[in-house]
A and B are shown apart, each in its own frame.
Chain A
Amino acid sequence: MFATAAAALLVIMCLALVRAFRGPKIYDRILAVNMFGTKTVLLIAVYGFMTGRPEFLDLGIFYALINFVGVIAALKFIERLDEYDEQEER
């Protein structure tokens, strides 16, 4: 059960990763990273149950936090970039 869930989460993470690689805009990447982060949190939780030691959920809480701050920081700092251009990223 947990194994299946973990596998599904891994698949989701892979898909998000692909989006993060492809872009094309900064915002797409941030979106992908955000999704990746949330899924990592869930993966930690599931993994804990899978290995039978779920008490490390502190980690999950922390990941969620870090993920949020990371995304906000990215947004805030993009905003400060003087010349945002429409250039396609690669």
Chain B
Amino acid sequence: MMSSQLPALQVVLPLLGAPFCFLLWRYPRWSWALATLLSWSAFGVAIMLLIQVQNAGTIEYAFGGWQAPWGIEYVVDQLNVLVLLIVSGIAAVVFPYSWTSVQREIDPEQQSLFFTSMLLCLAGLLGITIAGDAFNLFVLLEISSLSTYTMISMGRDRRALTASFQYLIMGTIGATFIIIGVGILYMLTGTLNMQDLATRIPDLGTSRASQVAFGFLITGIGLKLAMFPLHLWLPNAYAYAPSAASAFIAATATKVAVYVMVRYVFSIFGVGFSFETMHIQWLFVPVSVFAILFTSIVALFQRDIKRMLAYSSVAQIGYMLLGIGLVNVTGLSAALLHLFNHALMKGALFLAMGAVCYRIGNTFIDSMHGLGKQMPWTMAAFVVGGLSIVGVPLTTGFVSKWVLIQGAIENGWWPVVAVILVASLIAMLYIWRVVEAAYMKPRPEGAESITEAPASLLIPLWLLAAANIYFGANAQFSMELAQSAAKTLFNSAVVGF
């Protein structure tokens, strides 16, 4: 009986855990323990769902017992089980980490609020991923967004407030664009269910209204996923948020938005509409190429490493959009694979920065001189994550770049190949700056000596770093998931998912 309820449990567990977490406002530690427990159980549920999907194919779950399209349904298929896994997996690592980090960065009175927000954010992201209903997706999107704004605003710097506000404005504009798009689609088809939409949209042909809906949805989702040049909210938001929040959001939020983009472009509107009628690739490819180059260069000049990583995130999102824009199975697999891999690497990098922040109170590059000796494990993990961003072999980044370049070569798009490689080199430069500061520069005279971060930070950090190496060395698992999802998406032009 329980196994049939898994899709609901996936979201309901953290969602209903949040009020309990909130009720423990006097006892932040218990609040944290509860949140951690729930994040683990969400991860467990995701794994079980993965097994179910592998064995039995797509799972559908009707809320309230009302069959789709009348009720709201959850759908778990090859594509989103991958995202579920990565979101809950990152959560399962970041939540345990957050306790120690939060002690340093957030007032005790607010800690349980922070954990509640994180839990809500997790629930929202999982819900977006699993939702089979266009409007339900919006509601869950808002849950995750609101809790994200909250988490960001809890940063120690006052600029966290403005960052959060900026994100709130842009995020809400994005969400409103999404509901405009969904509204027009509903107007044209009379349904909100994604599978149903997918079967009905082809009947509309190339109606102007559906084209406008498409435009609004792409722009709205683009805002959420920080598609260049709609990314302006992202660097500040990631840079000033509390460390645990940065790590969690950076590793998951934009990935989920990319998933939503893939869902809309491929399975709801279908390959034919998106790429042959709307030619969306001619938006994605130039935009992402520009994003990759421009933001990578901007990242080079950042003093705050968290900010640098944030810019790098925009570039990495560019890779994913580029993969989508290649319009072939390899490209899409690369995008999905990178979605998985980037979560791992950015998670590790931000966790490392959290550990640095825990010890030295900031993440400026010049405060990190000599840290390689003082915090060897933290910096080693950072290097692993950094190598992954660069795309050095045996790290996850290499695998996704490999497949992405392969996709570009299949199209014969050599300039794109060049762009990817040039961007890797720029990435090498900005990672190298940190490595040089940490390992080559001496600790300034008179600076107090720093010890290694506590184990409660190091263990989660190294879990992710190790995952980077493991999935870089053995990408069979992630690649198979990504590839089969990509294949299904390309073949699903007519029959929905």
Direct contact of A and B (CB under 8 A): no
Q: Taking beta carbons and an 8 Å cutoff, which residues of A are in contact with B?
A: none
